[in-house]
Amino acid sequence: METLLLDANTWLLVLTGAGVSAESGVPTFRGMNGLWEDQPVTEVASPRGFAKDPLRVWRFYSQRRAGAADVSPNPGHDALVAWERHLGDRFLLATQNVDGLHRRAGSQRVVEMHGNLFTSRCSNPDCTRPPFPDTTVYASGTVPGCKECGALLRPHIVWFGEQLDPDDLTRIESFAVKAMRSGGRLVFLAAGTSGAVYPAAGMVDNVRAAGGETWLVNLDASENASSFEHFVQGKSGEVLPKLGR
């Protein structure tokens, strides 16, 4: 297997997707028995779907909240924690995953680009109540209401058609700019993602345009696999612990 050199000159930006949590038992979105198989994504992960049927959306997210609470990080998550401890502020992890497993494994320099299953917020944009930690698995048939304004609560998740948090995108971009300005070697590694969802799927192109090195660790060739210089095929829980040196 190729080796990823993590030396004093390396700045490492990692992007993870559902494949990194698959070995913890969290279902992925696409492919065999993926989450979206029996849930049309527009019906359960979009503002329109929530407006149309909040019960269905809360049933979908409550099931995932319960599932994610029951699983544990795997060696792929642990390898990323070790890389962060080795590289310090020359490491940043951007995750599309909303299951919270990276933080539970010990990752601290994490940007949860698509939000977090264990946070809810008021669906009323004019409400002053900020997003809050919420581990409640709401019983089927329940749509929780906001204590402050009475509007429906919603998962604090970025749905299709919704903008990502600009602060998150700025943090990721600033890391890459700082790496390039330092004269260091910017390395972008994507693991466990189908490369199907933007803007996350476009990160590899941005890094290549900036002259960075690109790696993909995935069970099979992702949609944007051809954009990566290095492709290590395999399970992230097996590949990541051996890849970094």
Site residues, ligand BV8 (CB under 6 A): 17-19, 22-23, 28-31, 34, 45, 96-98, 114, 157-163, 192-194, 196-199, 218-220, 222, 235-236
Q: Indicate if 156 belongs to the active site.
A: no
**Least gap, CB of 9 to ligand BV8 (angstroms):** 27
Of 245, 243, 240, give the one whose Cα is nearest residue 16: 240
**Least gap, CB of 196 to ligand BV8 (angstroms):** 5
Torsion of CA 178, 201, 98, 213, to 10 degrees: -40
- Looking at the Cβ atoms of 17 and 73, the one nearer to ligand BV8 is 17
Cβ burial of 128 (10 Å; 0-12, 13-18, 19+) is exposed
Q: Characterize the bridge pairing of strands 153-157 and 115-122.
A: antiparallel
- Looking at the Cβ atoms of 179 and 216, the one nearer to ligand BV8 is 216
Question: Catalytic residue among 77, 86, 102, 114, which?
Answer: 114
Cα(26)–Cα(23) distance, integer angstroms: 7
Closest residue to ligand BV8, judged by C-beta, is 19
- Looking at the Cβ atoms of 31 and 106, the one nearer to ligand BV8 is 31
**Least gap, CB of 128 to ligand BV8 (angstroms):** 25
C-alpha distances in angstroms, 36 versus 102, 123, 165, 183, 193? Answer: 22, 23, 24, 42, 15
**Least gap, CB of 182 to ligand BV8 (angstroms):** 29
142: phi > 0 → left, psi -120 to 50 → alpha, else beta; which?
Answer: beta
Of 155, 25, 47, 58, give the one whose Cα is nearest residue 98: 155
- Looking at the Cβ atoms of 152 and 221, the one nearer to ligand BV8 is 221
**Least gap, CB of 16 to ligand BV8 (angstroms):** 8
- Looking at the Cβ atoms of 75 and 212, the one nearer to ligand BV8 is 75
The pair phi, psi for residue 17, each rounded to 5°, is: -130, -170
Active-site annotation, residues: 114
